Structure 1
Amino acid sequence: MVYVVFLSLLIDLLAFTMILPLLPSLLDYYKKNDGPDGLYASVLRAIGHFQDVLGAPDKFNSVLFGGFLGSMFSFLQFVISPIAGGLSDVYGRKPVLLICLTGGAVSYFLWAISHNFSVFVLARVVGGLSKGNVSLSMAAITDVSTSATRAAGMALVGIAFSLGFIIGPMIGAGFTKWSQSQQNEWFVVPATFALALALLDIGFVCVYFKETLPTEKRAKSFIDGLNQALSYINVAALFNFTAVTNLSAKDTNELRMLGRVYFVYLFLYSGLEFTLSFLTHHVFHYSAMDQGYMFAFIGVIMAVLQGGWVRRIPPTKVKLAAVWGLLLIVPSFVFIGLSWSKSLFYIGLFLFAVSTSMVVPCLNTLASQFGAADQKGAVMGIFRSLGALARALGPIVASVGKVYFLLGVVKIIKINFCIEYFI
């Protein structure tokens, strides 16, 4: 069953990551074609006031747009992840997973017909509200694994992300290079292919995914489950893991600290991840294909490490691996922020990929050890929601800097603070 979850998540991520190298070009398209009365022009006027405060040049408007879209998408993930996790504890993983995947397919359909910026934003809204499938996948792996095999299962989730970042952006960039010479609305081809992948994923889950949460282990009450899920949106309750009951004081404190570490790391990580395509677009003048190669470089490193080493880390060494991964993010930011050449930039990317390949699966493995069987979905949903909240704040904060690397001092201080308490 772990491999079924892995394949489903991989198909979903292939569709999801296709858009990453396309965002700068998509925003350029809507800037030219949305019209003076469209949503793009309205948002541009609002951003103009903010831009004046920052003193940012006009060429960085797309960065601010990108930060807005990235933060909006992740904020919606923040809202939906604990709700999906909590409801799956009541109804089982499979039906909620299918609802999420269907919503993703609808978002790709809307993207394919997004002849104006309003429809494109609607597609991103629907997509963000459908991204509960990642936390559900982690909960399903937790259902069918033991403490000895859980790290390997979480590493497979990391491998799925890595392969998604290798193949998805390359597919998107390749379709773009071909379709731009075929039609004005060049994004229709990659969007349609993403829709096809989403439909394939729905069919795959319908046929091969077997429910991982038995009826006798589910939460009993729909009302209690829904109210509990809705309470996870409360930020203070999220950081305190209030909804996870029956833990010892020691376990509660460890889970809370783990959640804070995860939040800080992904806040910093997502700020860099989301601005990479805009950084290379403006500084190195990368095409969509160049950016596809860049994301593939990151993905290959992550896939090799997670497939060959991280999934074999003994349970007693998982925490130590996470700490080393946290340490590595500091020099990666320094190299990328100070890169005046592509060679220096790729050194930073290498360290960035190594860090991510260690931190994310290891922290998820540690979190999955907490809670009873009927609360695993809630624990992973809260954990995923904390990550989504971090991803909601990271892109917009990174995008309003002068432009990319002014977060250097803040990031080092926060990572060191994070490591000090984690150790």
Structure 2
Amino acid sequence: SVAASISHPTNGHDICSGFFICFFLLRLFLTACPSQLCRRSLPPPFDPPTSDFLTPRDPYRGWSPIMASSSPIDPATRKRVLKVIAVSLLLDLISFTFILPLFPKLLEFYRDREAPSTISGNSQTLLQNVITYLNKYKASFSRPIDSRYDIVLLGGALGSLFSLLQAVASPIIGHLSDRHGRRTALLASMMGNIVSVLLWVCAVDFRTFVASRVVGGLSEGNVQLATAMATDISDDASRGSTMALIGACFSIAFTFGPGLGAWLSTISTVRENPFATAAGVSLALIVTETVYLYFCLPETLPALTGLGKTAGDDKKKKKKNDEVQVDASTKGQTTKTTPTQRTNSHFLLNAVHFVFLLFFSGMESSLSFMTYDLFGYGSAKNGRLLGFVGLVASLLQGGVTRRLPPLVSVRLGVVACLTAFVLLGRTTTTAGLYAAATCLAMTSATVVTGLNALSSFEAGEGERGGKLGILRSWGQLGRGLGPILFTSVYWWAGREVAYGMGAAGITVVAVAVFSGLKTPPGSVKAKVPKEKKELWDKVALPAIRMHIQPIDNVTDMEPFVNDMPQHIHIPDQGDEGAGEGDTFDDVWGSAPAPPATQTRGAPSSSAAAAHHPSDMPRLQAEHTTAGYREGVTAAKAHSIQAGFDEGYSLGAAIGSQAGQIIGLLEGVTHALAGHDDASLAEAAARSVEEARHELQVEKLFGPDYWNTDGTWNYEVAAKTKADETQEKGRAGEDDILFADVADAHPLIVKWTEVVDAAVARWGIDRAVFADVGEEERLAAQDRAAANAGPQQTRKPLDW
């Protein structure tokens, strides 16, 4: 329907549209693909790329990311992978939408070729049997259905078949991606898509065409895998905007793809299959997408790549699927605790997705019927209406949806959908129709995108593909059943009853969304006001650095002096009455100049100029210096010393934790230096470098973890054991000590887990970290030397 208004080549608009889309996709391809891969080269590993993000893995499996343990994805890499996902999704969806406007002519072609005008009872072809069942189905309605809708109902049945097959295949594809990787699963899915489109190219009969749709329904996994990959490389706060990008790809493809497919259908190259040109171009796009993904798409599954989130994401991620705790006394034995409770139930998310798409897809399938009966719309006007929906949805996804938290996006879309159902059931004017279309565009731009984001929040890294696959499966089940249910009610009871039933169903969805779904932690990104950020950069950060490193030079005070208000006047040599001994009495000012040494009895030039006695500059300098020192002394006693004491103690607690972490990792690295397996030493050395990088002072005390007033912005809980309360002098259960703040620091928590894993793996005795007196330490060394036997063969870890 979208392509109907431009499918007649009466002018050059359709051709220009086709060239514009090709140019747009080519530009995105060249922008997103790394330059070293966008060139002619021999297959790997003979001509390896120079990028440091890809390394040779296997000559028959292409390239894979560097297997770095717990290495955060830098923003440039994340942006590049997102571009690859967006380009591949556009290619896939444009190829997929080629066939949508061709269904009526396709089915008419097969009907005229296989089925006679009067269907006999001894039908032999598949198409004849299907049309017979459709006629029986139409006869069950209370009102007659025009025979020209036979093709429409047949196309709807094929669409439902495709959706139901997707409902079966989506969970399988998702679980395979969790086990074998997103890239592997996606390339396997693309092979199935190539077979599907190749069958369409060769489909000279209806049976072959149905086979192509069956293969496509069972193998199509680009959308759900693109969603999973996008969540792999995005943090919690930006996940909603990432889902909006995927939704925007849908809107762009469904706006331009059908038009290009309709234009290609006018070019007939094979008499046995008039639609071979459109099918061939679709096949070319799928093959191009597959090659592009093979060379440009890295693996994103964290379990395989080790590419994790940034430190800020580790701070915000409070819920995990399984928490593994390592006990020092067991030396490597692990115990699994009970999984933490999720914010939203997967069952509720799947149910909301199913019920919503059950009614929404039914309304979509009946919209062209309603506009024809009510307003007499033909293909051209229906195309303009649906084109308007796609355009508004694209604008909303690009400008509004990506800035909204996922739950707010879902709620907004559900309310808009309910409004659309009410308008469609009661409207009698074109203005009301387009108002409903605007609400439908808002719904298309928000609900499914938000539900995907919410589901990804409730899934761990190792199960995200499977959970998103199950969510898509329930949605495709709704898409498969919705058109049959809704069109049946529409033709059996009329427009008012059908849309009233749809409004009731969406009301149930709205109640579930507003009362049952909650906002996951981390989905709302807190924004620091500009003035607070400036305060941090100018005051707080230099103050922290001053506690860490003493001021040994006057230039260390420049950050404070330069940020002072400019209303204080500093005398210049050219100012009237200014002299060498003149200073301004301010604690942030420069130190007073020393008294000028001059011949006894000879007045200074400054004193003569200012008509002061010769000793006035000296007295002024002395009193200014004394006042300056007294002010500093008073300030130190009341505020500076207190702040220093508190900051020093807290900084020492955090620094001690970081030092022990780096020290233990360095010890493991040295112990593994002579191991037979060199990869163990390399991995340990890489872990030490990452720890040193992330545990720098600038990051430990950066604005990601500290507010401008010096307080921490991460969750800290006091240890409330009764024996600790008695022995360590805790005043109460709610008291938080510096040790608690240090233990809860997100970077300390992250690397403590790494250290615990190393302790468990190599059987390290933590008693070596205990405080031992000098005499006891020397005595232990003497005992160890006396008891040492002949030098034995080096063990894997000789502690």
TM-score by length of 2: 0.46
Preserved CA contact (<8 Å) 2:342 2:458: no
1:270 counterpart (351, 361, 366): 361
* 2: CA distance, partners of 1:48 / 1:212: 50
Post-superposition shift, 1:168?
A: 0.6
Preserved CA contact (<8 Å) 2:202 2:273: no
Post-superposition shift, 1:358?
A: 1.5
1:372 aligns with 2:460: yes
Match of 1:223 in 2: none
Inter-CA distance 182–122: structure 2 relative to 1 (3 Å threshold): closer
Equivalent residue letter for 1:409:
G
1:52 aligns with 2:139: yes
Preserved CA contact (<8 Å) 2:422 2:503: no
Inter-CA distance 24–408: structure 2 relative to 1 (3 Å threshold): same
Preserved CA contact (<8 Å) 2:98 2:282: yes
Higher RCO (CA-CA < 8 Å; seq separation 6+): 1
Preserved CA contact (<8 Å) 2:424 2:499: no
Matched residue of 1:371: which SS?
coil
* 2: CA distance, partners of 1:64 / 1:286: 17
Post-superposition shift, 1:374?
A: 0.3
CA RMSD of aligned residues (A): 2.6
2:440 counterpart (340, 352, 371): 352
Match of 1:150 in 2: 239
Structure ranking higher in helix proportion:
1
1:38 aligns with 2:156: no
* 1: CA distance, partners of 2:198 / 2:270: 20
Post-superposition shift, 1:60?
A: 2.5
Matched residue of 2:151: which SS?
helix
1:83 counterpart (147, 151, 172): 172
Alignment of 1:385-404 (within 5 A): 385-403=473-491
Matched residue of 1:75: which SS?
helix
Equivalent residue letter for 1:196:
A
Post-superposition shift, 1:215?
A: 4.6
1:320 counterpart (408, 415, 439): 408
Inter-CA distance 246–148: structure 2 relative to 1 (3 Å threshold): farther
* 2: CA distance, partners of 1:359 / 1:88: 25
Preserved CA contact (<8 Å) 1:18 1:194: yes
1:7 aligns with 2:83: no
User: Structure 2: which 5+ runs fail to align?
Assistant: 1-80, 117-123, 307-336, 515-799
Q: State which drifts further: 106-115 or 151-160.
A: 106-115
Preserved CA contact (<8 Å) 1:165 1:295: no
Preserved CA contact (<8 Å) 2:243 2:449: yes
* 2: CA distance, partners of 1:295 / 1:180: 27
Inter-CA distance 402–346: structure 2 relative to 1 (3 Å threshold): same
Preserved CA contact (<8 Å) 1:267 1:391: yes
Inter-CA distance 250–200: structure 2 relative to 1 (3 Å threshold): closer
Equivalent residue letter for 2:292:
F
* 2: CA distance, partners of 1:393 / 1:29: 27
Match of 1:301 in 2: 392
Preserved CA contact (<8 Å) 1:67 1:398: no
**Identical aligned residues as a percent:** 35
Alignment of 1:159-174 (within 5 A): 159-174=248-263
Match of 2:498 in 1: 407
Post-superposition shift, 1:306?
A: 0.6
Matched residue of 1:164: which SS?
helix
Matched residue of 1:402: which SS?
helix
Post-superposition shift, 1:34?
A: 2.1
Match of 2:156 in 1: 67
Preserved CA contact (<8 Å) 2:193 2:286: yes
Match of 2:791 in 1: none
Matched residue of 2:237: which SS?
coil
TM-score by length of 1: 0.85
String of CA shifts for 1:40-60, please: whole Å, max 9, x gaps.
Answer: 111111222222112442333
String of CA shifts for 1:134-176, please: whole Å, max 9, x gaps.
Answer: 1111111111111011111111110110111111111122223
Matched residue of 2:115: which SS?
coil
1:310 counterpart (382, 397, 401): 401
Post-superposition shift, 1:295?
A: 3.7
Alignment of 1:181-200 (within 5 A): 185-200=273-288
Post-superposition shift, 1:22?
A: 2.0
User: Structure 1: which 5+ runs fail to align?
Assistant: 219-244
String of CA shifts for 1:206-248, please: whole Å, max 9, x gaps.
Answer: 1111000145479xxxxxxxxxxxxxxxxxxxxxxxxxx9754
Match of 1:417 in 2: 508
Preserved CA contact (<8 Å) 2:422 2:500: no
Matched residue of 2:300: which SS?
coil
Match of 1:203 in 2: 291
* 2: CA distance, partners of 1:323 / 1:151: 14
Inter-CA distance 254–98: structure 2 relative to 1 (3 Å threshold): same
